[in-house]
Amino acid sequence: MSSDRIPLTRDRIVESALGLARHEGLAGVSMRKLAQELGVEAMSLYHHVPNKRALLILMADRSLASLRPADPALPWNQRLVTLLDDIFRAGVENPAMISVLAAQELDPLQIEASEISALMLIESVLQILSESGLEVAKRVYVYNSLINLVYGFVLARTQGATLAAPKGSGQDPARRLTGRWESFPALADVLDGLEDSDPAADLHFSLEIYVGALAGLVAAQVG
């Protein structure tokens, strides 16, 4: 079916952008490429989406709207880890979401309707940090470090930037290092676990360490 028979809508643009991001990553999403995918002139996209930043926010909104707050009965540290684990899972499906949450240009004083979901999620994280008792001056630092930690694990999961042997690849790290173990004793100790490396589990472990240290910081602050 030719694309000129299908009306160009914002939803269609966003869906096409999400598909492009899944295949080429966010760096591969441009208004020019998107227009080619849709079979239209690039300028026609701007009647529906004012710029790429707005497009990323609309892409992120698809995943942000699906996230649900953690059980309020849980302690703040467990809610924070649960929420960030969920953000990671959604970010793997839609890297634009993490890009928006980590963006410095997301200005709370200049809100557009399409940014409300992103701000609601940011509010959820900051609300948990507020309930923790962390002093206001440190909440932005903690928010940025946590979101960028999740962002890094999303990149590791989607781009393969981890210390791991590709699953099912038949590439045995032990075989590649045969005869050279004396030079890599620390690596030799962990080789058996490399193929089982899981970014989601690695992130959860990292979050528990970070949030545990944060709880200690809050306790010391109160004391």
Higher-confidence position of 87 and 27: 87
* Sign, CA torsion 202/203/204/205: positive
Domain parsing of the chain, residue ranges? 3-49, 69-162+197-222
**Strand, helix or coil at 56?**
helix
Model confidence at 116, in pLDDT bands (50, 70, 90)?
Answer: confident
For residues 199 and 162, the answer to whether their CB atoms sit within 8 Å is yes
For residues 151 and 91, the answer to whether their CB atoms sit within 8 Å is yes
Percent of the chain with pLDDT over 70: 78
Does the domain made of 69-162+197-222 have the CATH classification 1.10.357? Answer: yes
Name the least confident of 91-95, 156-160, 175-179.
Answer: 175-179
Report, as an integer, the average pLDDT of 174-192. 70
pLDDT of the residue at 103? 63
pLDDT tens for 127-147 read: 999 999 999 999 999 999 999
Q: What is the CB-side half-sphere exposure of residue 4 using CA atoms within 13 A?
A: 2
pLDDT at 86 over 70: yes
Give the chain's mean pLDDT.
Answer: 81
The CA distances from residue 176 to 120, 125, 163, 188, 199, in Å, are: 48, 44, 15, 11, 23
Name the least confident of 15-29, 38-52, 69-83, 167-181.
Answer: 167-181
Of 4, 38, 34, 32, the C-alpha closest to 20 is 34
pLDDT tens for 184-197 read: 788 778 776 666 77
pLDDT at 109 over 60: no
Spell out a b/e string for 13-26, using b for 16 or more CB atoms within 10 Å of the CB, else e.
bbebbbebbeeeeb
pLDDT at 210 over 60: yes
Question: Which residues have a Cβ under 8 Å from the Cβ of 63 and sit 6 or more positions away?
Answer: 90, 91, 93, 94, 96, 97
Percent of the chain with pLDDT over 90: 36
**From the CB of residue 74, how many other CB atoms can be counted at a distance below 10 Å?**
12
Of 80, 102, 76, the C-alpha closest to 91 is 102
pLDDT of the residue at 2? 47
Choose which CATH entry (3.30.1340.30, 1.10.10.60, 3.90.400.10, 3.65.10.10) describes domain 3-49: 1.10.10.60
Helix (DSSP H) and strand (DSSP E) numbers for the chain: 11, 0
pLDDT of the residue at 188? 77
For residues 129 and 142, the answer to whether their CB atoms sit within 8 Å is yes
Report, as an integer, the average pLDDT of 39-50. 92
Higher-confidence position of 114 and 75: 75
Rg of the chain over all Cα atoms, to the nearest angstrom: 21
C-alpha span between 180 and 35 (Å, rounded) = 52
